Amino acid sequence: MSPAPAIAPRGATNVAAADVRVTALLAAASLEIPAHDPAADAACRDLLAPGTAIHIHHPTDGSTQDIVATAARLTRAGLTPVPHIAARALESFTRLHDYLARAVGEAGVTRVLVIGGDNERPAGPYRSSFELLETGLFQKHGIRQVGIAGYPERHPGIAGAALDAARAAKLALIRASGLEPYVVTQFCLEAAPISGWIAAMRAGGVDCPIYAGLAGPAPVATLAQYAVRCGVGVAIRSLAGGQTALARMVREAGPEPILRALARADHPPDGLHVFSFGGVAHTAAWLAAAIRGDFTP
């Protein structure tokens, strides 16, 4: 008789499954960079694998020229540019039309992220990402995938019920327009808000891809600055209280503890979205090393 197959301990099986999930999350990771720094896309070209999705932040001054130029350089480097389109930074319908036409024509863009934007006062007629979607320009110009923002710790300026209704309306409109929706979350410094939020989204029928926003390696002071600016409640409490996960993240110079916790969640994200608060080159180097397996899942 053949010997009975060895049975791995239950804990070992769980660890192995989490390792596989970590690898999958990293394989689907995207990176966010500023639009006005040519060295940023050069770092992505030199450090990241072809095809990696690179999100390009839309500045508050409304300038789209730098975004399109950056997107074109990323495309030539074999990467996948994902321009952000901020509603309150656009002066007019014509500017939106021109922005999309150039992004598609000059950089081959097929995927974008629509957001309200950081401007306190709209530069033109658009106050929300939903109003951008209503124009019909995305499908007209050949965009195929449209992302929206998700807020595991709620939005600092929008009530929960209104935020939920707006998200549902945007996802419905994207699908009705023949486009593929996805969600990118605001960054968090703890896994629990993200995993709990994803579980609630799945229970509510949201079945599109969800990418968890994580802060790449950065000094504590920098993380605190962005946490305060974005109203990330748990992040602020973590920084103030020195919670274990954050302390480990600082010591290990990266969000590995959060990544491991997300991989163990019942409803893990479909991938990661890494914010380069600590600098693009530093963050891209961390991401490339993590993808190679140069940390212990």
* Long-range contacts from 200-209, C-beta under 8 angstroms, 24+ separation: 201/150, 202/267, 206/171, 208/171, 208/180, 208/181, 208/182, 208/183, 209/182, 209/183, 209/270, 209/271
Q: Which domains does the chain have, with CATH numbers?
A: 19-291 (3.20.20.220)
Residues in the chain: 297
Three-state secondary structure call for residue 43 = helix
Burial of 164 (0-12, 13-18, 19+ CB in 10 A): middle
List C-alpha distances in Å: 81 to 1, 71, 275: 57, 5, 15
List C-alpha distances in Å: 96 to 67, 85, 130: 13, 8, 14
Per-residue pLDDT, 172: 98
Mean pLDDT of 50-68: 91
Mean pLDDT of 164-189: 95
CA distance 40 to 71: 11
Strands 30-33 and 53-56: what pairing?
Answer: parallel
Name residue 210's beta-bridge partners. Answer: 183
Per-residue pLDDT, 161: 81
Mean pLDDT of 2-19: 50
Using the predicted structure, report yes or no on whether residue 288 has a pLDDT greater than 60.
Answer: yes
Mean pLDDT of 148-175: 85
pLDDT bin (cut points 50, 70, 90) of residue 285 is very high
Percent of the chain exceeding pLDDT 90 equals 62
Mean pLDDT of 64-80: 96
Using the predicted structure, report yes or no on whether residue 202 has a pLDDT greater than 80.
Answer: yes
Using the predicted structure, report yes or no on whether residue 234 has a pLDDT greater than 70.
Answer: no
Average pLDDT over the chain, rounded to an integer: 85
Half-sphere exposure of 136 (CA within 13 A, CB side): 1
